[in-house]
């Protein structure tokens, strides 16, 4: 039997779509890039003001008063899956592990006359699953020696503008999405007498891209201004150049987000303060026909940050929880207990935040590190 380029994924698509027992964590749409808010479950992504605002809510750029550089890096979760039983509806046994560390955000915010310009690269989605199987049944045939590596990564490049008018911040942005998908593997086919019939191989890898837009606002939710509400909407992004990957995904889902954060001052004699908040993200207008089916889902997070003033520095301590349900039938949810801390010296332009996540049900420990440097201080 000849090796065929697409056959394995044609079978794999059936495997993915038909199984309800898969446990591959679904972060294709909702990967936290590892900034400050990671430690509080993503609760302040809509109300923060930093270089990540270009991606999450461009209205937050209006809070940036000095030219600022920002960057983040984190480990990328990956998994190993063993398939057994029937090819069309297999039994999944998945274990999560620590993946490679990558730069997940680079951004700059530049105050100008009338507003703040933001330029950013942000990784917004990722998964990688290594799949093996000793034997699968396909009617009278045996599928043996299956090895497959299935991965996807969604990168966003954003140019945005944030402006303050009265007590309300407004933001608009242009978003370019690059969708990388790779499905590489092979399996052998045996007849009912365990005689070799042939080998099927796959090598589908490609980058597709599309253009969308994002808009947002932030406004006071209390008379004293200590509570803030943030809202943003990112349009769905239809992908082009999908000759190799159109069977997997043709559109990046849109996102509508709302978050609220409240600050409590005068803690510990007046020098400390507390911030708590929550956020909901609704991913909509999904691609429901590809193998990476994207149904409409609501993600969320909540958390609390205690900001200490010690040693001539601000030291925020954070704890939170994030909930990411599966957006495809072949995936599992990934709910995570988060925590972290930061260090922001009063006499330095540089600040950093280190945050962690412990997924429920076990698995790898997430770790993100973000740096902020103010050029104008």
The residue ranking higher by pLDDT, 174 or 87, is 174
Residue 13 confidence class, pLDDT cut points 50, 70, 90: very low
Question: Is 170 within a domain?
Answer: yes
First-to-last alpha carbon distance for the chain, in angstroms, is: 68
Average pLDDT estimate for 141-160: 93
Residues spanned by the domain of 78: 7-374
Residue 138 confidence class, pLDDT cut points 50, 70, 90: confident
- How much is the pLDDT for 3? 35
- How much is the pLDDT for 11? 45
Per the CB < 8 A criterion, the answer to whether 146 and 129 are in contact is: no
> CA distances (Å), 239 to each of 46, 154, 264, in order?
26, 11, 44
- How much is the pLDDT for 377? 55
- How much is the pLDDT for 247? 87
DSSP string, 134-185: EEEEETTEEEEEEEEEEEEEEEEEEEEEEEEETTEEEEEEEEEEEEEEEEEE
Residue 82 confidence class, pLDDT cut points 50, 70, 90: confident
CATH number at residue 167: 2.40.160.60
Per the CB < 8 A criterion, the answer to whether 71 and 79 are in contact is: no
Question: Is 2 within a domain?
Answer: no
Question: Is 1 within a domain?
Answer: no
Question: Is 278 within a domain?
Answer: yes
Q: How many CA atoms lie within 13 A of 169 on its CB side?
A: 30
Determine what percent of the chain is predicted with pLDDT higher than 70: 93
Question: Is 44 within a domain?
Answer: yes
Whole-number Å distance between alpha carbons of 101 and 189: 37
Question: Is 40 within a domain?
Answer: yes
Residue 335 dihedral angles phi and psi, to the nearest 5°: -100, 135
Question: Is 151 within a domain?
Answer: yes
Question: Is 47 within a domain?
Answer: yes
Of 108-117, 264-273, 288-297, the least confident: 288-297
Whole-number Å distance between alpha carbons of 272 and 251: 45
Number of domains in the chain: 1
Whole-number Å distance between alpha carbons of 128 and 205: 13
DSSP state of 50: S
288, pLDDT greater than 60: yes
The residue ranking higher by pLDDT, 295 or 2, is 295
- How much is the pLDDT for 23? 64
Whole-number Å distance between alpha carbons of 131 and 249: 20
- How much is the pLDDT for 90? 79
Query: Which tens digit of pLDDT belongs to each residue from 173-218?
Result: 999 999 999 999 988 888 888 888 888 888 899 999 999 999 999 9
């Amino acid at each position: 039997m000849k090796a065929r380029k697409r056959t394995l994924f044609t079978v794999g698509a059936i495997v993915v779509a038909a199984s309800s027992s898969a446990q591959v964590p679904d972060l294709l749409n909702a990967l936290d890039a590892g900034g400050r808010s990671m430690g509080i479950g993503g609760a302040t992504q809509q109300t923060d003001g930093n270089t990540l605002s270009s991606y999450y809510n461009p209205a937050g750029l209006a809070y940036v008063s000095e030219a600022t550089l920002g960057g983040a890096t984190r480990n990328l979760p990956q998994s190993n899956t063993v398939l057994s039983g029937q090819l069309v509806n297999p039994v999944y046994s998945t274990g999560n592990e620590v993946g490679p560390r990558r730069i997940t955000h680079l951004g700059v915010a530049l105050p100008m006359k009338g507003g703040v310009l933001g330029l950013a690269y942000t990784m917004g989605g990722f998964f990688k699953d290594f799949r093996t199987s000793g034997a699968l049944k396909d009617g009278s045939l045996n599928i043996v020696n299956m090895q497959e590596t299935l991965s996807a990564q969604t990168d966003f490049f954003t140019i945005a503008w944030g402006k303050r008018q009265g007590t309300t911040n407004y933001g608009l942005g242009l978003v370019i999405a690059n969708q990388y998908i790779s499905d590489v593997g092979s399996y052998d086919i045996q007849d009912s007498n365990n005689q070799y019939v042939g080998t099927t191989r796959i090598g589908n890898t490609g980058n597709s891209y599309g253009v969308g837009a994002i808009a947002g606002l932030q406004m006071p939710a209390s008379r004293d201004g200590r509570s803030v509400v943030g809202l943003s909407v990112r349009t769905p992004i239809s992908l082009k150049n999908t000759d190799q990957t159109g069977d997997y995904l043709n559109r990046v889902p849109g996102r509508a987000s709302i978050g609220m954060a409240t600050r409590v001052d005068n803690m510990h004699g007046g020098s400390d303060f507390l911030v708590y908040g929550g956020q909901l993200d609704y991913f909509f207008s999904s691609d429901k026909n590809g193998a990476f089916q994207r149904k409409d889902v609501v993600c969320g997070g909540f958390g609390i940050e205690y900001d200490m003033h010690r040693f001539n520095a601000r030291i925020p301590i954070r704890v939170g929880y994030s909930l990411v349900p599966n957006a495809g039938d072949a995936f599992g949810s990934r709910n995570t207990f988060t925590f972290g801390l930061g260090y922001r010296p009063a006499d330095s332009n540089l600040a950093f935040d280190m945050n962690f996540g412990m997924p429920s049900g076990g698995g790898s420990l997430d770790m993100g590190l973000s740096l902020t440097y103010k050029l104008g201080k």
